[in-house]
Amino acid sequence: MSLTQTPIRRMNLGSEYGVVADFTFDSTYPTGGEPVDLVALGFPNDSCDFMIAAPAGGLIFEYVRSTKKLIAKYPTGGGAVPAALGAPTVAVPAGATQVTSSAAQPNLTETAGIGVEVANATNLSTITTQIFAIGR
């Protein structure tokens, strides 16, 4: 099976089109993401310049233009932060007391990082996300 695409609305944006659609995943998510059929979605030139998908079912999504695939990710911060992004920082407001002890903040267990892709063959058949895309 594959990603089920259900176009909801198509808009003429001059030389490009805008599309709102529901994407429903299937029972065997493939590593690297689900292929998006841009022609079936309403882009006659098979070209999408921008796509954003709403978070759904606790997951976040990333559209990769070069592969025309939608990747599902857990937003838990389990992935390593790319070195180019640098480590996250926290600014302490002027006049505030900086807390440096884990005993003072025992519930702070989050690890900074980027989302991690869902495992191969994961059943995402209950997940539907709504997308907005612009293309030609």
For the domain that residue 121 is a member of, what is the CATH number? 2.60.40
Residue 87: inside a domain: no
Residue 89: inside a domain: no
Residue 46: inside a domain: yes
- Enclosing domain of residue 43: 4-81+96-135
Residue 91's pLDDT band (boundaries 50, 70, 90)?
low
More confident residue, 131 or 111: 131
Q: What is the mean pLDDT of residues 93-107?
A: 60
Total structural domains in the chain? 1
Residue 104: inside a domain: yes
Residue 44: inside a domain: yes
Q: What is the mean pLDDT of residues 76-105?
A: 59
Residue 88: inside a domain: no
Residue 42: inside a domain: yes
Token representation of residue 22? 């529901």
Residue 90: inside a domain: no
Q: Each residue of 13-58: pLDDT tens digit?
A: 999 999 999 999 999 999 999 999 999 999 999 999 999 999 999 8
Q: Each residue of 61-76: pLDDT tens digit?
A: 999 999 999 999 988 7
